[in-house]
Amino acid sequence: MRAMAVTAYGEPLEAIDVDEPRLRPGFALLEVLTCGVCFSDVKTSRGKMPYSESLQLPHIPGHEICGRVIETDPAGAIPTGTTVVAYHIWPCRRCERCRAGYDNLCTNPVSWTGFTNPGGFRDRLVVPLDRLTVVPDNIDPVQAAPLTCALGTAYRAVVTRGEVAAGTTAVIIGLGGVGIHALQIARATGARVVGLDVSQPSIDAALDLDLDARASNDDVLDAIVRDRSVDGVDVVIDCVGREETLVQADRLVRPGGRVVAVGYSITSSFSLPTPRFVLEEIELIGSRYVLMDELERAIRLVADGHVRMVVDKGRPLEDVNDAIADLEAGNVIGRTVIDVAGVA
């Protein structure tokens, strides 16, 4: 079976042959149709993740997986031919976070697919039945691949952690794969929202969706604060995760507001303006991966036409290194997707 794998950090992924996955009780055998390429895949491929030193190579990345059901055990649990997306954390169900209902924060996952365990840059894989979400018929597989991470992560950051709602004001910093969907989700809530980026192509992509998007500079930040209120905005969602973007968030957020950090860099450290966060009761909130019930609500926004998936291009499996290079160079708008099965 075909796969593209990390065989040495910093080197291009290589084509390898891997064993066919075996179906077992409680699982579905999937034909991988498409797989999104997230910047986490870049960091995994370059050895820049916290788990990199212990990760066994060769390793198959890819966690934004859309597949077609080939077979299930028990038979018929999901009809053959159904298009699904795979939730990439397989929780232990025993740790404190799992028992509290936070699968996304499982401290001992059975599998972290594409991260510490083999992912979707291959032809077929098996996934637990309860980690699969059916894709509505009006979302094609290329658009479906980024639903779990790009869309789901954005949904949790905006709706759950940021509590963005009608009548609130918000700023999204960074309009990459997560940010451009976060901006659409925030608009769909009825909030007054603007997106910021340093990349003109990303800004143009947002403008093409009739979103309010602007260049990230001092004059623009000052204008947003003046326009929204004298005190700043209710919620800032940082989809970049660098020290300079947290400084921007501090400039934008009002007293009593919140800053949601969803982007992160392994090499960056934050220097928090402690007096303001304490004396003005600014909330700094981390946001990770979506819960499965949240994912279903996020996908419904796409199916109902409130959010449009932004996919730069679909590429064959053997071109995954080009996708990674383009991400590193900042040449991707939204998400780039690997068309594993040639469905585009």
Contact at 8 Å (CB) between 53 and 156?
no
**74 preceded by cis ω (within 30°)?**
yes
What gap in Å lies between CA 17 and CA 1, rounded to an integer?
5
The answer to whether the Cα torsion of 144, 153, 320, 311 is positive or negative is positive
Q: Is the pLDDT of residue 237 over 90?
A: yes
What gap in Å lies between CA 172 and CA 194, rounded to an integer?
6
What gap in Å lies between CA 99 and CA 235, rounded to an integer?
30
- Axis-axis angle for helices 179-188, 200-208 (nearest 10): 30
Under CATH, to which class is 151-286 assigned? Answer: alpha beta
Residue whose C-alpha is closest to residue 4's, from 35, 30, 25: 35
Helix intervals (H) in 196-279: 200-208, 218-228, 243-252, 274-279
Taking only the tens place, the pLDDT of each residue in 24-40 is 999 999 999 999 999 89
Strand ranges in the chain using DSSP code E only, listed in sequence order = 2-5, 14-17, 27-37, 64-73, 83-86, 89-90, 111-112, 124-128, 132-134, 169-173, 192-197, 213-215, 233-238, 253-261, 283-286, 311-316, 335-339
Under CATH, to which class is 2-149+290-339 assigned? Answer: alpha beta
- Identical fold between 2-149+290-339 and 151-286: no
Sequence ranges of the domains in the chain = 2-149+290-339, 151-286
Taking only the tens place, the pLDDT of each residue in 81-138 is 999 999 999 999 999 999 999 999 999 999 999 999 999 999 999 999 999 999 999 9
Would you place residue 344 in the very low, low, confident or very high pLDDT band (cuts 50, 70, 90)? confident
What gap in Å lies between CA 131 and CA 128, rounded to an integer?
5
The pLDDT score that the predictor gives to residue 266 is: 62
Model confidence, pTM: 0.95
Contact at 8 Å (CB) between 171 and 213?
no
The pLDDT score that the predictor gives to residue 229 is: 63
Q: What is the maximum span of the chain, computed from C-alpha positions, in angstroms?
A: 61
